[in-house]
Amino acid sequence: MTKHAAWIIHFKAHMDEFSLMNLDGSEYIAGIIIVPGHSMRAALDALDDYLSKNRMWVMDVSKCERYVPENFTAPTKENKDIIEVAETVLIYQASEFVSGASSKVLEDEEGEAT
C-alpha cells in the first residue's frame, strides 16, 4: 500500500478578473495551499491544476515542503490551520487552500505599516 503525502506550498499567483478567489479586483494572491502528491514534482503539478481550475496561474513559489506533523507543534494559528487542512488532504487526496491575502489587502497592510 502506498502511503499518501501532502505538500505545503507558499505561493504567489496572478488572478484572472473572473476568478472566484478574486473578491476585490486584485491582480494577485499570496497564499498557502496543501496538495497531495508522491513527490515535489507531483505537488507542483497539483498546484498548477488547482490554480488553473480557479482561473489563476503561478507567479512564484517561495516554499514547498512535505508535510511532517512533528514540524508544526508550536501553538500558532497558522500551524493549527496547516495541521487541520493537511489531515483533510491526506484523507481525501484533494488540494485545499489554507490561507492567503490579495494584492489589495497586502497593499493596505503595507500602507498601514508606514
pLDDT tens-digit map of 79-95: 999 999 999 999 999 99
Contacts of residue 28, defined as CB under 8 A and 6 or more positions apart, other chains included, come to 12, 13, 14, 15, 59, 102, 103
Task: Kindly state whether residue 112 falls inside one of the protein's structural domains.
Answer: no
Task: Kindly state whether residue 79 falls inside one of the protein's structural domains.
Answer: yes
Q: Are 47 and 95 spatial neighbours (Cβ–Cβ below 8 Å)?
A: yes
CA–CA distance, 35 with 86 (Å, rounded to integer):
8
35 has pLDDT over 80 = yes
Task: Kindly state whether residue 1 falls inside one of the protein's structural domains.
Answer: no
113 has pLDDT over 70 = no
The gap from C-alpha 86 to its chain's centroid, in whole angstroms, comes to: 11
Task: Kindly state whether residue 110 falls inside one of the protein's structural domains.
Answer: no
Q: Are 77 and 99 spatial neighbours (Cβ–Cβ below 8 Å)?
A: no
pLDDT at 109: 81
Mean pLDDT, residues 88-111 taken together? 92
pLDDT at 8: 98
2 has pLDDT over 80 = no
Average pLDDT along the chain: 93
Count of the separate structural domains present in the chain: 1
Element (H, E) at 60: strand 56-66
CA–CA distance, 80 with 53 (Å, rounded to integer):
27
Task: Kindly state whether residue 113 falls inside one of the protein's structural domains.
Answer: no
Task: Kindly state whether residue 36 falls inside one of the protein's structural domains.
Answer: yes
